[in-house]
Structure 1
Amino acid sequence: MSRILIVLAALFLCSTPALAAEATGDPILVGGLFAESGPAAFVGTPSRLVAEMTVKKINAAGGILGRPIKLVIHDTESNPDVALRMARQLVEAENVLAIIGPTSTGEGLAVKKYTEEKNVPTIMTVGGDPVIAGGNFGPFTWTFKTPQRTSTAAEKIYEYLKAKGITSVAVMTAKDAFGQDGLNHLKNLAGKYGMDIVAEETFDPKGTDFSAQAFKLTTASPKAVIIWTIGPAGAIVAKNFAALPGDKPLVVECHGQPGSEFLQLAGPAANGVIMPATKLMAPDSLPASDPQAAVVRAFIADYDKEGIQAKFPINTHSGYAFDALILLQAGLQKAGKADPAALRDALETLKNVVGVSGVFTITPEDHNGLSTDSMVMLEVVDGKYQVAK
């Protein structure tokens, strides 16, 4: 089974409708929760487009278990309360088998408790992994996620810094759930990697200038400063540090930043900034022997062919909805039937499923299944991303 799953995504991407049996029977209903409006829309809208692109290819290749997939999608408006309300509608009014999404950490926290109570397999596309009452964001019984855990991204950063002989760091994190999640993991993991966090600052991610926080951090003389936020705030922070006089620390952004928007907004200040990312952001660095190489390149080609690239240039978030549907496909094929409990049990034992964000091996203890090996460290050089040396 493991070898079959290793090539599952590649076969799916290379399949053609002419070679596939036509999907028949009632469609398998799958809910989609995406922020298509509000501050997270820059992630949620392309995620919805990717989900539709992926389902179209799955159905063209014969569907799953001989049945077509039908997406039932709702806009969460980047609002946790709306996300919860839409989840209720998907489950109680529209009778979906499973849910993919939502987009942001706050939305994920709002939805998770409900879907767990209702026994709904949910493959989330959020990047956060908050520590909350009752344990971490996951694993839970019915909740899975495709982005690397926050702890995985933090460890990737620390691995890189340690290899460079850097142990003195400062951290600057957004006040929202995603930023504070990052702060918690950075602090919890610092001792494991011999890191000394010499200063901390927080900021409102909706702000337009963080020069004061940047200056305060530099007075502690860290060798590197780690920024934890998504969206335009990360570029603003990079510009704030670049504008400071004298010696400056190495600026490290989190795994939520890699994309063209950061480069455009930060401008020349982006040069020299490093950050962890999925291999999607470094396709040319992948040797043919890498099991992700064919999948990543085929995804990029489809993303462009469908016209998504022209509207939403690929970034580190682009593959999460694809991965959620690939895991759903593998889980249903392993379960052999469209049953929530059987799907959940199958998802929990998937091994070597090749996606855009990594090669997933899920266990009862780890409902994400990705390690630091699934990420690369990028550096911005002359306004472009390249693998950091």
Structure 2
Amino acid sequence: MTNWHPNRRSVLLGAAAAASAGVFAAPRAHAAASGEPIRIGHQCEVTGSLASSGYWHRKTINLAAEWFNAHGGFAGRPIEIVGIDTETKVDVGIARLRQLIQDQKVDFVIGSQHGGIALASTAIVKDEGVPYMSMSRSEGVTEGGGNPFVFRLIVNTRQTDLAAGRAMADRVGKKWAVLYADYVWGQSHNTGWAEAIGKAGGDVVQSIALPVNSNDPISYISKLDRSADGVFVALIGADLPKAFVALPQLGFTRKPIVTADYVFGAFDPLSNGKYVEGVWGIDTLPWELSDKNTPYLAAFRERLGIDPNGREVGTGRNVSVGETWPVWESLSVLKLAVEGANWRSRADSATLPKYIEAHPDYAAGELFPQGALHLRPQDHQAFAAINLLQIEKGRILSRQELPPEAGLYPTKMNLVAG
């Protein structure tokens, strides 16, 4: 069951043209907003290997749209969400992004989580002049792929690796092995973890790449160097639970296992029982409300139906906690920019990047429940706190919150000068 139900308008669109395949719109409220709606496209992984996060992206953007519309919309105008399913496939994600922009005439886009889709999307939104709020964690989105129309509030792989890698090297030891998915996100983590461990005075002695959805992951995992002090795991899909089971069976019961950002939200790690006891994770927010209980965050979690232990109320579904707030806060940044830059239509979209660059700091509040946020003007990358999590007796607990500057790195971009 999802929260994206097509309204009458989207049904008519779908019936009217084959080009509308895969497009569906969220219901919108008009309690305090009126006039011509601002259309926001949502390039989302509804199906495929990233659907667990896509579920929370969809739920968050729908509830956010209702909330913003009930609180005046954007500059008094309602927002309308028009979503497409990328199917977690690059060709589909790109084709349907063009559909959103060219056929559905959206004004802004909340982007894909998939690294390959996100990187390919950056050139399209630049050519079209449509502001794009990326949900991908792959570093290249705001480096090589960065341009004036691309922004990212979700933290990227390099940030989490630099912050967590140095902290875990101090906790565990300096000698590490890496097991990673052989695609953009995993490759970014392989590079980032090696950089972080090197900065901590250590070394990654071995890196093993697994094809995504490998038929025989154990044949790869069995090659891991057992002399390593710890193992960093950046896998997704069916490979992940297989790795959790295989690692202790292959002699890594006493070796700390650290999973990459987003992994705890990719599937329910607690479903692996004893095999995940002691496993570490990384995310921007704790799972348990008691580990970070601010009034704004508590209200945000309640609004999204997240219980105090990080489960969906009513279903018990595992929550991708770090996937929720960047969707909400991306809309918040757009709202402030639309109102501050006096934006009226896509013809004004070139004014938004300049306004956002001139206003890079956001205080905690209803619009920014995660906490204070800095959106670096030079590359449009946000920096937030990073949490080290650990599984203990069926709970996901926060062991340490690292400040945003722990993930700070120099950028090759200088969009402000451009």
Give TM-score, length-normalised by structure 1.
Answer: 0.85
2:307 is aligned with 1:314: no
The aligned counterpart of 2:24 is none
Say whether the 8 Å CA contact 1:331–1:347 is kept in structure 2: yes
Which deviates more from structure 2 when the two are superposed, residues 239-248 or residues 376-385? 239-248
Amino acid at match of 2:113: T
Give the match for residue 276 of structure 1. Answer: 282
- Aligned partner letter, 2:136: V
User: Which ranges in structure 2 are unaligned for 5 or more consecutive residues?
Assistant: 1-29, 401-418
Q: Does the alignment pair 1:351 with 2:351?
A: no
- In the alignment, the residues of structure 2 paired with residue 179 and residue 246 of structure 1 have an alpha-carbon distance, to the nearest angstrom, of 21
Give distance in 2, aligned partners of 1:246 and 1:299.
39
Q: Deviations over 1:92-112 (max 9, x none)?
A: 222221100212111111211
One-letter amino acid of the counterpart of residue 378, structure 1: L
Contact 2:221 2:246 in 1 (8 A): yes
In the alignment, the residues of structure 1 paired with residue 273 and residue 266 of structure 2 have an alpha-carbon distance, to the nearest angstrom, of: 10
Q: Deviations over 1:127-154 (max 9, x none)?
A: 22238xxx82554211111221111110
What residue is the counterpart of 2:229 in the other structure? 223
1:43 aligned residue (33, 48, 53): 53
Q: What residue in structure 2 maps to residue 366 of structure 1?
A: 379
SS state of the match for residue 52, structure 2?
helix
Deviation at 1:260, TM superposition (A): 8.3
Q: Establish whether residue 162 from structure 1 lines up as the match of residue 169 from structure 2.
A: yes
Q: Are the aligned partners of 2:286 and 2:292 in contact in 1 as well (CA < 8 Å)? A: no
Flag the 1:78–1:92 CA change in 2: closer, same or farther, 3 A.
same
In the alignment, which residue of structure 2 is the partner of 1:244?
A: 250
The more displaced of 266-275 and 38-47 is: 38-47
Q: What SS does structure 2 have at the residue aligned with 1:155?
A: helix
> Who is 1:376 aligned against?
387
Q: What is aligned with 1:33?
A: 43
Following superposition, the deviation at residue 277 of structure 1 comes to 1.0
Inter-partner Cα distance in structure 1 for 2:371 and 2:386 = 8
The structural deviation recorded for 1:208 is: 5.7
1:79-228 to 2 correspondences below 5 Å: 79-130=89-140, 136-137=143-144, 139-164=146-171, 166-207=173-214, 209-219=216-226, 221-228=227-234
Deviation at 1:158, TM superposition (A): 1.5
Q: Deviation string for 1:5-40 (max 9, x for gaps)?
A: xxxxxxxxxxxxxxx982122111111111112222
Which structure's relative contact order is higher, taking Cα pairs within 8 Å and 6+ residues apart? Answer: 1
Normalised by the length of structure 2, the TM-score is: 0.79
Is contact 1:214-1:237 (8 Å) kept?
yes
For 2:165 and 2:252, the matched residues in 1 are separated by 25
How far 1:246 moved relative to its partner? Answer: 6.8
Distance 1:147 1:352 in 2: 14
Deviation at 1:231, TM superposition (A): 3.5
> What SS does structure 2 have at the residue aligned with 1:216?
coil
**Equivalent residue for 1:233?**
239
Shift in Å at residue 52 of structure 1?
0.8
Gaps of 5+ in 1: 1-19, 288-292
Structure 1 residue 310, shift from structure 2 partner = 4.0
Whether the aligned pair in 2 keeps the contact of 1:146 and 1:323 (CA below 8 Å) is yes
Match for residue 404 of structure 2?
none
Identity over aligned residues, as a percent? 22
Structure 1 residues 28 and 361: alpha-carbon distance in aligned structure 2, compared to 1, 3 A threshold? same
State the secondary structure of the residue aligned to 2:258.
Answer: strand
1:52-75 superposed Cα distances (whole Å, 9 cap, x missing partner): 110000001111101111111111
The 8 Å contact of residues 81 and 110 in structure 1, kept in 2 or not, is answered as no
